[in-house]
Amino acid sequence: MPSIDSLADRLSTYLAADQVNLVRRAYFYAEQAHDGQRRRSGEAYVTHPLAVANILADMHMDHQSLMAAMLHDVIEDTGIAKEALHAQFGETVAELVDGVSKLTQMDFQSKAEAQAENFQKMAMAMARDIRVILVKLADRLHNMRTLEVLSGEKRRRIAKETLEIYAPIANRLGMHSMRVEFEDLGFKAMHPMRSERIRTAVKRARGNRKEIVNKIEESLTACLQREGMEGVVIGREKHLYSIYQKMRGKRRAFNEIMDVYAFRIVVDKVDTCYRVLGAVHNLYKPLPGRFKDYIAIPKANGYQSLHTTLFGMHGVPIEIQIRTREMEELANNGIAAHWLYKSNEDEQPKGSHARARQWVKGILELQQRAGNSLEFIESVKIDLFPDEVYVFTPKGRIMELPKGSTAVDFAYAVHTDVGNSCIACRINRRLAPLSQALESGSTVEIVTAPGARPNPAWLNFVVTGKARTHIRHALKLQRRSESINLGERLLNKVLAGFGRHLDSLPVERIQAVLDEYRLELTEDLLEDIGLGNRMAYVVARRMLASEGEEPPSAQGPLAIRGTEGLVLSYAKCCTPIPGDPIVGHLSAGKGMVVHLDSCRNISEIRHNPEKCIQLNWAKDVAGEFNVELRVELEHQRGLIALLASSVNAADGNIEKISMDERDGRISVVQLVVSVHDRVHLARVIKKLRALTGVIRITRMRA
């Protein structure tokens, strides 16, 4: 085990003597705090914080991060408070330690909720200081290296969380070396047999490939020397988890994946990268469409490199990455390399560090908009998918989005208001569906309209966490205002039964009802009524109880306008349309569901004033309503076209059509037609009856 002295010697190569002493002091403090505590392996507990500090020392992290690493379990596992750390080591170190500490004092309903809440807390701390995540990643890495002592179930749970969250975060921050180790250790813990079999196969393949690898390496080195360019050629090994992912995802055999030979060429400056690219393309023929320039357009995590695939000797494919030494350092250590290269404390973050800041800022925005911690962590997981597409705004600005993103994702990436008011898009100057997946190099233009609102259907195809969170947030706000509106109408309708109105009731009486229901605002009560969580009839009785009045059991019907929005829906079992006699069923959480008066599904609760409410259609009812028709007619050529043109002639619209033949002579066609009201439906049916061969038309009700 490394000791504090050996760590101090390593730190003295890049930290000042007084900073090294502060790290020592933190170690001795942690040693005392964890005195008597042991790890599952039987070692003294302080060996863990020391190992975490060693991992950060490999990345050349600053002294405050190393001190936080030494103390990262003190708040959680000993009786020492954050304030005590603040007094001993200053505010920065105390905040870093607190950011990494779990919420142990709270009770959670499930493991998933506890994980989500803890990650949410850490995300907020990351926004204040990005080093929180680096300490946490180092802590997780040492825990993964020492997983063997835990039970199988616990090992798998920690490995799953590492593969789903911590490995993608390391990738998002450009920390390739850490990501690879997370993935291989996680893979080994999740699937020990698969991991072992692939490891054995790689060892065997490595022996067989040695000769070809050496030949390719020699020819690449000789090529650089001939062109008078300095560079180092390194054979690149694929790691076990990436082999496994390719075998599963692309359904490839192990031999197909290992047939590709991968090399990295590291040179001194950017200009040389492009010259080396020309030289290797002269040496071997490049594969069309396999060249990527991540130097001109870096990946979202700051990664820069030139990628090309060549036809080598005997037709073997060779993958080559060309990059500078600084790019190599940034590719392996990502954001941590920022501390290695920074010369000035006050310097503005740039490159991978600025990108990481931007990403964390986005995470904080998700956290503020998310409904709960589980919704938040789902959005973050979506956001951590590494593959990107690069698209352009009309002004030529490059936007990075996850693979599969649509114009709606792009709109929200530009600005929340653009996303919320988006109505259409142009991709490469042509109108396109909002759900179309974007491709790299496309120019995307968003068409907006004032007063437009997000569509709930967008949630079916958006990819980014930001878009999903903002759509949900906007829909919640819209639903709340519509619920309050409907709740007020329902309550006033009951109160109007004996000439009262909500505005005319004494404030104390309303407040007493709010206190009884443990609500703060009248709007909260009205929202509950609109959502069907409380019955207007019962609330009115409570409000009028002190006056000794009983609301009448029957009141005049409530008028439905068709513009009530998300809190009013039409039952699919009986598909009511304007003109039909209707009744409203108040369903908890959903609001009001409109049924036909004669619908069997509500026959048992039809006369219960707490569950159902009498409705009628307003004179100015708006919108289109779907009706299902069953048309029986003699089989003839062009049947579907005849039906469609008849419906169209009556200003109707066919939403869905299906046909099954009853026998060779008679066909039965199911039509879903959208109409304005019963009069409009009658016109459509009249047009259909006029067709020759029509035997019967029936309006369907489930």
By annotation, the residues acting in catalysis are 76-77
CA distances for 322 relative to 105, 243, 298, 683, 691, angstroms: 50, 22, 13, 71, 72
Backbone angles phi, psi at 574, to 5 degrees: -130, 0
CA atoms of 131 and 126, how far apart (whole Å): 7
Alpha helices in 152-239 (DSSP H): 152-161, 167-172, 176-190, 192-226
How wide is the angle at C-alpha 493 spanned by C-alphas 489 and 495, nearest 5°? 120
CA atoms of 537 and 609, how far apart (whole Å): 7
CA atoms of 632 and 698, how far apart (whole Å): 9
How many other CB atoms are there within 10 angstroms of residue 443's CB atom? 14
507-516 helix and 522-530 helix, angle to the nearest 10 degrees: 60
Backbone angles phi, psi at 605, to 5 degrees: -105, 5
Backbone angles phi, psi at 318, to 5 degrees: -120, 120
CA atoms of 530 and 536, how far apart (whole Å): 9
CA-closest candidate to residue 280, choices 322, 315, 248: 322
CA atoms of 529 and 476, how far apart (whole Å): 16
CA atoms of 106 and 557, how far apart (whole Å): 49
Residues 6+ apart with CB under 8 A from 250: none
Strand order in the sheet with 666-675: 653-661, 666-675, 625-634, 694-699
CB 173, CB 352: distance < 8 Å: yes
Q: Residue 311 forms beta bridges with which residues? A: 285, 317
CB 578, CB 621: distance < 8 Å: yes
Q: Which helix (H) or strand (E) holds 263?
A: strand 261-267
CA-closest candidate to residue 73, choices 107, 47, 39, 49: 49
CB 24, CB 15: distance < 8 Å: no
CA atoms of 409 and 460, how far apart (whole Å): 12
The token pair at 679 is 């009069």
Backbone angles phi, psi at 265, to 5 degrees: -115, 120
CB 320, CB 307: distance < 8 Å: yes
Strand order in the sheet with 568-570: 558-560, 612-617, 582-587, 591-596, 568-570
CA atoms of 569 and 588, how far apart (whole Å): 13
Backbone angles phi, psi at 200, to 5 degrees: -65, -45
Q: Residue 402 forms beta bridges with which residues? A: 388
Backbone angles phi, psi at 37, to 5 degrees: -85, 140
CB 447, CB 424: distance < 8 Å: yes
